[in-house]
Amino acid sequence: MLRIAVPNKGSLSEPASEMLHEAGYRQRKDRRELVLVDSDNSVEFFFLRPRDIAVYVGSGKLDIGITGRDLLLDSGANAEEILQLGFAGSTFRYATRPGTAKDVSEFGGMTVATSFPGLVSSHLADKGVDASVVRLDGAVETAIQLGVAEIIADVVETGTTLRNAGLEIISEPILHSEAVVIRRAGAGTDDPKVQQFLRRMQGVLVARRYVMMDYDIRAERLESAVALTPGLESPTVSPLHDQGWVAVRSMVRTKEAQRIMDDLYELGARAILTTGIHACRL
């Protein structure tokens, strides 16, 4: 059985379970369930606090985990990313009241409040800045108002939370984060059970990002049309009964589908259809 850690709470929890469900795995119906065995797929899921996942996986007690890159790096656990999952995207940044500091180099002697002390301490050390770090559990924006710290370091998605707290971002992001699949460092991905899990998750990513596009085009325009829809490897081209026309089938990025349909139409393509992909193995 492959033992997989899944976030049980917070921003990562629902999208992680949704993705696993799309990959064909059973997921819990009751949020209080802590362990779930999916015997059909030889997988055991452990629903754990997002912060703890890297610790379990790093110790080798669990084979694989889903967590955030920021949480992984903050934990200092002996684990590494093996797949990026494309959800829970955010940056990790410093912020303060206007006028306090314009750059990390000015933080010397100040206090930084954060829920990610490992990440922040090592970033400050890299920059050679001698600032104190105070660890808080959440809602760190308030630490400045209450005089616990001059600076905060926190997850920023839209920036709304910072704006509402009257804070401004300082310097470049410390980190770009997203949900990732992790494994104990050095354990590799050769294990067939791990390979199968990764193929399923990659299948979901592709099914989410691509649609299948079909169209008919005159044979003499085929090369120009194929240049617009090169597919992942190479498009399928089939002859039509009506001589001089061919049918083309190719995968295109969902985000680009409408633009490509316009361009194909301009080129003379007709009967242009897109269909969703439910699942795939590349």
Ligand X SMILES: O=P(O)(O)OC[C@H]1O[C@H](OP(=O)(O)OP(=O)(O)O)[C@H](O)[C@@H]1O
Contacts to ligand X by CB under 6 A = 138-139, 154-161
For binding to ligand ATP (CB under 6 A), which residues are involved?
A: 9-12, 50-51, 68, 70-71, 88, 90, 138, 155, 157, 177
CB 50 within 8 A of CB 57: no
Residue 154, contacted partner among ligand ATP, ligand X, none, CB below 5-8 A by kind: ligand X
Q: Which is nearer to ligand X, 179 or 201 (CB)?
A: 179
Residue 50, contacted partner among ligand X, ligand ATP, none, CB below 5-8 A by kind: ligand ATP
121: left (phi over 0), alpha (psi -120 to 50) or beta: alpha
For 16, 90, 121, 131, the CA distances from 12, given in Å and listed in that order, are: 6, 12, 24, 30
Q: Which is nearer to ligand X, 2 or 162 (CB)?
A: 162
H/E segment holding residue 275: strand 270-276
CA–CA distance, 16 with 7 (Å, rounded to integer): 7
- Smallest distance, ligand X to C-beta of residue 7, A: 13
Tokens of 186: 């050095």
- Smallest distance, ligand X to C-beta of residue 171, A: 16
Q: What counts of helices (H) and strands (E) characterise the chain? A: 9, 15
Q: Which is nearer to ligand ATP, 138 or 239 (CB)?
A: 138
Q: What share of the chain is helix, strand, coil (3-state, %, to 5)?
A: 35, 35, 30
H/E segment holding residue 18: helix 10-22
- Smallest distance, ligand ATP to C-beta of residue 76, A: 15
Residue 76, contacted partner among ligand ATP, ligand X, none, CB below 5-8 A by kind: none
Residue 160, contacted partner among ligand X, ligand ATP, none, CB below 5-8 A by kind: ligand X
Q: Which is nearer to ligand X, 130 or 157 (CB)?
A: 157
Q: Which is nearer to ligand X, 161 or 196 (CB)?
A: 161
- Smallest distance, ligand X to C-beta of residue 230, A: 36
- Closest residue by Cα to residue 267 from 221, 236, 231: 221
Residue 159, contacted partner among ligand X, ligand ATP, none, CB below 5-8 A by kind: ligand X
Q: Which is nearer to ligand ATP, 51 or 221 (CB)?
A: 51
Eight-state DSSP code of residue 40: G
